[in-house]
Structure 1
Amino acid sequence: MTPTSGKNKVTFKSFGADLVGDLYVPEGFDEAKKYKAIVGASPFPQVKDQIPATYGPEMAARGFIYLGFDYLGMGDSPALPGEFKQSRYMFRLIENTWDAVSYLGTLPFVEEIYGLGVCQGGSIIASAAVTDHRIKKIAMVSGMMAADDFQWADRDVVNQQIAASNASMQKMYESGEPDYVTPFLLNDEMTKEEFIEVGGNPMVGETYDYYGRDGVKGPIAVPNYTNMHIGDQGMQSLISIGQAYADKIVQPSLTIYSKSAYTAICSTQFVEKLTNEHEELAFDDFSHVDFYYKPEAVKASTDAVAAFFNRSTD
């Protein structure tokens, strides 16, 4: 394909399905030139019209080609035959990312490929890069790489989540019908006040401001997004290998996070285990979700990522 400057709709194969993506291309694109390309990875449970639609134009404005896409079973990408929509399964996310790298590798104007993940996308990129050295550098923003201590801190709560997920999987297997739930206890109709009343963690307010019915990237603002998700998701999202394989990563990496964020431990413990060439950028004045969409936080992160990806490693 020969893209034009701006956003280009693309498809590429993964698990035999056509995943749908947006390829963001710099102004004044020249197909005879070579560009650095970025495969983007988004937070759970996002679609390409959320984080990728924010970071894609920003990275293109900084001279990069950026691919944001809907994972298998999400957004505009199909589920596999016999499966259901709204199913982000961790190991498939990694394999979808490998296939996205393969797709970028077919483009004659792509010179090198980098990975940029936000929130769960950080874990996806870090995990994919362990054995995919076609990805030359990785950057993670508000990343959930060291998720075990964060996700498994209260074993009683986790075991309740697992029990519900197990029951949902059995129900779907026997009925052949999807079983949709609210992983964050947030549905598409709640007001902010209703969600805060039941939310139960320090991030409920900022979570609603982004994902809620009236949020900047909620189901009204992004029509193909929903807060409902397949019921066995808890079995899948509790398995995270980002931190477990951190010492195996050889590519230069950059970790960006907020020191005050509820999720900061997911970056700091990951960094502690790294043995590669690594840079760390911690902010005092932004929250976890600020990096999703607030202009000053997005500018700070994308400026840093662009500088890191452009820096010579010779």
Structure 2
Amino acid sequence: MKLQAGKNSITFTSFGVALVGDLYLPEGFDENKKYKAIVGASPFPQVKEQVLGTYGPEMAKRGFVFLGFDYLGMGDSPALSGEFKQSRYMFRLIENTWDAVSYLGTLSFVSEIYGMGVCQGGSIIASASITDHRIKKIATVSGMMASDAFQWTDKAMVNQMIAAANNSRQKIYETRKPDYVAPFGLNDEQSREDYIAVAGVMAEESYNYYGRDGIKGPKTIENFTNMHIGDQPMESLISIGEHYADKIVQPTLVVYGKDAPTAICSTAFIDKLTNEHEVLAVPEFGHVDFYYKPEAVKVSTDAVAAFFNK
């Protein structure tokens, strides 16, 4: 396939199936030259047209090759035989990332490979890099690397989530049918007013992005839905990146909103890092601002580009 500057649709193999991705190439791309490449990792429960579709062109504009892709069972990528779509399981996301790195490694014009993750993508990239040293540097933006202080503080609530996930897994096994839920209480039909009235601290900014009328919600992104397979918390509540942070050897950049409710997910991770690392804590932006707001995306992409170019 002939690759050209801009967005290129590609596939690569993981778990024996073809995952679908977008490979963003810099202006004036020349396959005989060498470029630094980035594998992107997206927030839960996103598809490649959302955050990665925002960051891909921005990083290509800054001279990088950028790979955004749909994980197994998400977006345009198939589920495994006998399994169901919208099944974004954490351990598989890590292996999909390793295979994405392998794909980039086959491209003759790629010199070094870096990893960049946003929200849950931060946890994915941090976890993948622990034992994949083909990834030479990593950067996280609004990263959810540390789940203990954010997700496990209210153990009664966590145990309710686990009970629901366990029941869902049993139901799926017995019926051989998917059991879909709205992980954040947000479905594809709710109005802004209805959701904000019952949701938590990040309700408005979450709806502004993911809601029916949101900037990257199901009306805008055809292959996206807020509904997800019900047993997913059995994996997402396990944070590998946080507890293995001191094992990460790659230089690391952590960008986050200083006053965002999720800041602890970056700061607790930073506290455990023993490698060379840099931190950019930005007071004026919230967690979701870094997904799409031009002024926030410029801050994060400029910082990531500068870090990867050092």
Aligned to 2:159: 159
Give the Cα–Cα distance (whole angstroms) in 1 for the partners of residues 72 and 258 of structure 2: 33
Aligned to 1:254: 253
Q: Is the 8 A contact 1:116 1:122 kept in 2?
A: yes
TM-score computed with the length of structure 2 as normaliser: 0.99
Q: What secondary structure, in the 3-state scheme, does the structure 2 residue paired with 1:71 have?
A: coil
Matched, 1:112 2:107: no
Give the Cα–Cα distance (whole angstroms) in 1 for the partners of residues 251 and 147 of structure 2: 21
Runs of 4+ in 1 over 4 A off after TM superposition: none
Aligned to 1:216: 215
Amino acid at match of 2:52: P
Q: Is the 8 A contact 1:90 1:240 kept in 2?
A: no
Amino acid at match of 1:20: V
Q: After the TM superposition, which residues 81-96 of structure 1 pair with which residues of structure 2 at under 5 Å, given as runs?
A: 81-96=81-96
Q: Is the 8 A contact 1:2 1:31 kept in 2?
A: no
Aligned to 1:306: 305
Aligned to 2:122: 122
Aligned to 1:266: 265
Q: Deviations over 1:226-258 (max 9, x none)?
A: 000001012121111111000000000000001
Aligned to 1:204: 203
Q: Unaligned regions of 5+ residues in structure 2, if any?
A: none
Give the Cα–Cα distance (whole angstroms) in 2 for the partners of residues 281 and 96 of structure 1: 28
Give the Cα–Cα distance (whole angstroms) in 2 for the partners of residues 149 and 271 of structure 1: 13
Aligned to 1:227: 226
Q: What secondary structure, in the 3-state scheme, does the structure 1 residue paired with 2:10 have?
A: strand
Amino acid at match of 1:144: M
Q: What secondary structure, in the 3-state scheme, does the structure 1 residue paired with 2:253 have?
A: strand
* CA displacement at 1:223 relative to structure 2: 0.7
* CA displacement at 1:103 relative to structure 2: 0.1
Q: Deviations over 1:186-231 (max 9, x none)?
A: 00000011001121x2100000000000000000000100000001
Aligned to 2:135: 135
Number of residue pairs the alignment of both structures matches: 310
Give the Cα–Cα distance (whole angstroms) in 1 for the partners of residues 224 and 112 of structure 2: 31
Aligned to 1:296: 295
Q: What secondary structure, in the 3-state scheme, does the structure 2 residue paired with 1:242 have?
A: helix
Give the Cα–Cα distance (whole angstroms) in 1 for the partners of residues 64 and 162 of structure 2: 41
Aligned to 1:182: 182
Aligned to 2:150: 150
* CA displacement at 1:2 relative to structure 2: 3.6
Aligned to 1:286: 285
TM-score computed with the length of structure 1 as normaliser: 0.98
Give the Cα–Cα distance (whole angstroms) in 1 for the partners of residues 270 and 226 of structure 2: 31
CA RMSD of aligned residues (A): 0.6
Give the Cα–Cα distance (whole angstroms) in 1 for the partners of residues 233 and 29 of structure 2: 42
Q: Unaligned regions of 5+ residues in structure 1, if any?
A: none
Give the Cα–Cα distance (whole angstroms) in 1 for the partners of residues 250 and 103 of structure 2: 20
Q: After the TM superposition, which residues 64-103 of structure 1 pair with which residues of structure 2 at under 5 Å, given as runs?
A: 64-103=64-103
Aligned to 2:61: 61
